[in-house]
Amino acid sequence: MVPGRPNAPGRTAVHEQAAAPQTLLSKRAWLQTGRATALGGLIWALAGCGFQLRREPTLPFKRIALSGFGARSTQAAALRRAVGADVEVVASPSQADVVVVALAEAQERGVVGFTAAGQVRELQLRVKLRYRVLGRDGQEWLGPTELSQLRDMTYNEALALAKQQEESQLVRDMETDIARQVVRQLASLRRPGSP
């Protein structure tokens, strides 16, 4: 029974109480339907604007050679992983469609902060790769290019082993980022003189 409203003929307070749960259920169903509709509309709008998750770039060649890297270069290993399974990494530049020539690669570590007691507080890590890209015939496709990554990390001597592992992980991540940038640049390259 609703206060201030007389009962309709044939309706009692029991009828009013029984109708209340149905109203709550219908409101919940309406809210759930509204949420689903809004979510569907959002997905439709994102799909309509051309939004897509980032995909690995497609390289316009099938064989690549890595030249000038050190024998145990972790940057070369990151590049091998980044080119994917569709591209074969060959040992000889004469067998490759494209040759990535490392002109310089470096990992640097510098102290940027100290405590009042003179202990190291913060480190800066840098990974650099300077390279160029040649075609099979030795023609230059991309001139000397330098890519670098920079990360800051805190340091505490009491946690030296953990910080050493953190540093190794950061360097690996920076090398992976550089390798992905190289692959994106390789994907945009075209043979000199071609349209």
Tell me which range, 13-17, 36-40, 48-52, 179-183, is most confidently predicted by mean pLDDT. Answer: 179-183
Q: What is the pLDDT of residues 146-181, one digit of tens each?
A: 999 999 999 988 898 999 999 999 999 999 999 999
Beta-bridge partner residues of 43:
none
Beta-bridge partner residues of 102:
131
What's the rounded Cα separation, in Å, for the pair 67 and 75? 12
81-115 burial by CB neighbour count: b if 16+ within 10 A, else e?
ebbeeebeebeebeebbbbbbbeebeeeeeeeeee
Instruction: Say if residue 89 is in the same domain as residue 179.
Output: yes
How many domains in the chain?
Answer: 2
Amino acid at 159: L
In a domain, 59, yes or no: no
Q: Is the pLDDT of residue 75 over 90?
A: yes
Instruction: Say if residue 44 is in the same domain as residue 105.
Output: no
- The pTM score is 0.70
What's the rounded Cα separation, in Å, for the pair 42 and 49? 11
Token pair, residue 128, equals 């650099």
What's the rounded Cα separation, in Å, for the pair 148 and 128? 4
Instruction: Say if residue 104 is in the same domain as residue 21.
Output: no
Instruction: Say if residue 29 is in the same domain as residue 119.
Output: no
Q: Is the pLDDT of residue 137 over 70?
A: yes
Ramachandran angles phi, psi of 125, nearest 5°: -110, 135
What's the rounded Cα separation, in Å, for the pair 143 and 56? 23
In a domain, 194, yes or no: no
**Residue range(s) defining the domain that contains residue 70:** 64-188
Q: Is the pLDDT of residue 1 over 60?
A: no
